[in-house]
Amino acid sequence: MVFNLFRKKKEVTPNYFVALDIGTELLKGILFSKSKVGITALRHFYLRQPKKAMQSGRITDQELVLYGASAVLEKLLQDTVLKGTEVMLGIAGDLVNGVLVDVTYTRSNPSKAIDNKEEAEILEYVYNKIVTEAKENLSARLKIEKENLLVLHLGVVGILIDGKPVYALADNKGRGVKLSIYASFAPSDQVQMIVQIMKRLGVVPVGIVVQPYAVARAYKGSRQEEFSAIFVDIGGGTTDIALVQGGFSLQTRMYAYGGRIFTESIAKTLQVSYEIAEDLKLKYSSSMLPVETMIKVREAIAEPVRIWIDSFKVALEEFNDVTTFPDIILLCGGGAMLPDLQDTLRNYAWTTVRGFMKHPKVMVITPQQLEGVFLKDFELNRPYDVTPVALGRAYYDIMNNPKYNYVNVPKD
């Protein structure tokens, strides 16, 4: 037995669940309560991962991630039994991605309102079509055999009936139905590792969602027709981008360049350990270092910042069907706290880049700007708290509207 997880405690009630963000740098967990009116973030616990546990969002040492996840869950649940706890998982990585798929469906009887049976038939048709066609598209783009690519989640982000936006199929009339679906996929070996870890811990994974999708859908107003923005989540091993256009269109891209690169550059330049470099980076972001050290850290990260902005531009170019980008860039994640990244984004000549008609406004966001989540844990107020809180909102959406969220969690 690896841990003494099942010592005598009071049974966990179904009114609680955990959001677990399996990050390259940090394992982030939040305990939520749930009710008919929403969810509440009660407490959080984050644990720094050993360097060899994960690389670029991928698990490289399953045992280390297992021990870390058990420590986070035990700390969160405290006086309750761990076994059977529902967990919403978030993952990222350069091979974890999603595509927006628009599927049209022509009704034979447009004058009749859609009932529950027809709604189920339409959704089944749409989901089956996406699983085959989107999987083909993404496997070619990621250069992964489609047999090794696993569907994670299909989420309806927009519905049009005869060109008119609606929030549900049922009770509406019309002939032409168009559904916009965000379809996310990941390499099956990575997903199986995560599922095996959860199984060994005795918890129940109820969904695995792509983190930038969760952030983009949780932000206040992001589902409105007039909303457009670029979300940028700068984590330890990856940078995750979500592009939202007109509320209905949602696409993501991820690349393996995150905050760990800045830490490694500080360690090498200042000739200190990785742990000390990480501490220096955090203090630098808060202007808590002596002037001489601030200058040294700034010089150490100058080149990584330049490479990061170049990588960001390349990632934007991969949205090859986009003619005009939104004029708002919303930052979150630990890397978003670096003032150099913020300044570079704000001062870059964006109007010389294809798709930018005007200079974008750059803002750092916090969990207070997410919708449908109450924050009883008042320490959840930093940019790197956004993703795990957003995972809680993803849980709420999936559990309360399962018809419009196809979730695939492998059993083994």
Q: Over the stretch 251-274, which tens digit does the pLDDT of each residue have? A: 888 888 888 999 999 999 999 999
Alpha helices per DSSP H over 94-249: 116-142, 188-201, 211-218
Q: Which of 266, 216, 237 is nearest to 100 (CA)?
A: 216
- pLDDT score recorded for residue 79: 65
- pLDDT score recorded for residue 398: 93
Residue 91 identity? I
Q: DSSP for 340-387, please give it.
A: HHHHHHHHS-GGGSTT-SSPPEEEE--GGGBSSEEE-STT--SGGGHH
- pLDDT score recorded for residue 316: 92
The full set of domain ranges for the chain reads 259-364
User: For residues 145 and 25, what is the distance between their CA atoms, to the nearest angstrom?
Assistant: 28
Q: Which of 6, 58, 28, 2 is nearest to 391 (CA)?
A: 28
User: For residues 230 and 258, what is the distance between their CA atoms, to the nearest angstrom?
Assistant: 17
Q: Does the pTM exceed 0.85?
A: yes
Reported as type and span, the H/E element at residue 29 is strand 26-35
Q: Which of 186, 399, 234, 252 is nearest to 330 (CA)?
A: 234
Tokens representing 282 are: 């955090």
Largest CA distance in the chain: 74
- pLDDT score recorded for residue 281: 94
Quickly tell me which residue has 């957003």 as its tokens. 390
User: Chunked in runs of 10, what are the mean pLDDT values of the chain (412 residues)?
Assistant: 42 76 91 89 94 84 93 85 83 76 91 94 90 76 78 92 92 94 87 91 91 94 94 91 90 88 94 94 93 96 94 88 93 94 94 93 97 95 96 94 90 70
Backbone φ, ψ for residue 328 (5° rounding): -135, 130
Quickly tell me which residue has 């394992």 as its tokens. 27
- pLDDT score recorded for residue 143: 74
- pLDDT score recorded for residue 17: 94
Antiparallel, parallel or unpaired: β 149-161 and 176-187: antiparallel
Q: DSSP for 36-47, please give it.
A: TTEEEEEEEEEE
Model confidence over 269-317: pLDDT tens digits? 999 999 999 999 999 999 999 999 999 999 999 999 999 999 999 999 8
Q: Which CATH number fits domain 259-364: 3.40.50, 3.30.420, 1.20.120, 3.30.70?
A: 3.30.420
- pLDDT score recorded for residue 13: 52
| Cβ atoms of 335 and 234 closer than 8 Å | yes
Total Cβ atoms within 10 A of residue 204: 14
Total Cβ atoms within 10 A of residue 104: 11
